[in-house]
């Protein structure tokens, strides 16, 4: 058997929560109850029902048959379950199973989308570092030239930019845009370094 069920935290306030025997039997019924309608030997089993017996529940929960009988009586007395006998066995229905299981499952299905949106928004709002901002002009330039950069190319350029100062990166990118180049040329290190090395002032008469 695969799948899962949901238990709301409010169950700790449930009147049978502290009754370990009754709670164990109820939990077993929740785990075994049909999560969708199905046919069984000529019968239609509704959502929230399970065909079982005291003996089976006793074996599954490791409780005595008398303990199971007492627990079922308690659950029935507070309208948590209904019990019907048939030629196929005892049919126990968990009252309101569909209400608090299926609705909860529906909410759960929606949660990943919501969480993904939150994650996406966080990524979108993440502040760019200075080199990413500097690279934006080159990305836009390539777009305008219909030579859009791939994400892998952008990552490679950023790795390359880490070797240089922000001013050097600006110089190379601006120079490439001015010249209409389709690539960034980092080989002329001397030219790039001149950007950050102010020329020595010379007297006009020297």
Does residue 127 carry a pLDDT above 70?
A: no
pLDDT at 37 over 60: yes
CA distance 167 to 164: 8
Is 70 exceeded by the pLDDT of residue 67? yes
Task: Using CB atoms within 10 Å of the CB of residue 10, give its burial: 0 to 12 exposed, 13 to 18 middle, 19+ buried.
Answer: exposed
The pTM assigned to this predicted structure is: 0.47
pLDDT at 48: 82
User: Which pLDDT does position 35 carry in this prediction?
Assistant: 76
Two tokens, residue 101 = 């299981």
Three-state DSSP class for residue 93 = strand
Q: Report residue 43: phi and psi, to 5°.
A: -110, 155
Give the pLDDT band of residue 11 (cuts 50, 70, 90).
confident
Asked if residue 112 lies in contact with residue 64, where contact means CB atoms within 8 angstroms, the answer is: no
Location of each CATH 1.10.10.10 domain in the chain = 9-99
Angle between helix axes 65-77 and 54-61 (nearest 10 degrees) is 110
> Which of 9-13, 79-83, 172-176, 198-202 is least confident?
198-202
- Range with the poorest average pLDDT among 68-77, 94-103, 161-170: 94-103
Hey, what CATH topology would domain 9-99 get? Arc Repressor Mutant, subunit A (1.10.10)
Q: Cα–Cα distance between 137 and 125 in angstroms, integer?
A: 19
| 50 within 8 A of 29, measured Cβ to Cβ | yes
- pLDDT at position 176 is 83
Alpha carbon 8 to its chain's center: 20
| Mean pLDDT taken over the chain | 76
């Amino acid at each position: 058997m695969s799948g899962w069920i949901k238990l709301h935290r409010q169950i700790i306030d449930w009147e049978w929560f502290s009754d370990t025997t009754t709670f164990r039997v109820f939990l077993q019924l929740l785990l075994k109850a049909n999560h969708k309608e199905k046919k069984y030997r000529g019968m239609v089993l509704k959502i929230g029902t399970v065909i079982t017996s005291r003996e089976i529940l006793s074996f599954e929960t490791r409780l005595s048959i008398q303990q199971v009988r007492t627990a079922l009586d308690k659950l029935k007395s507070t309208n948590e379950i209904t019990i019907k006998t048939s030629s196929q066995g005892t049919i126990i229905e968990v009252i309101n199973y569909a209400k608090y299981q299926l609705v909860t499952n529906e909410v759960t299905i929606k949660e990943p989308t919501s969480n993904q949106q939150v994650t996406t928004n966080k990524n979108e709002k993440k502040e760019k570092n200075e080199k990413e901002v500097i690279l934006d002009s080159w990305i836009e330039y390539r777009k305008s030239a219909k030579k859009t950069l791939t994400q892998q190319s952008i990552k490679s350029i950023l790795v390359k930019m880490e070797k240089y100062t922000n001013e050097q990166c600006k110089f190379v990118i601006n120079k490439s845009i001015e010249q209409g180049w389709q690539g960034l040329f980092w080989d002329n290190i001397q030219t790039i370094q001149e950007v950050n090395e102010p020329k020595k002032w010379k007297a006009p008469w020297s």
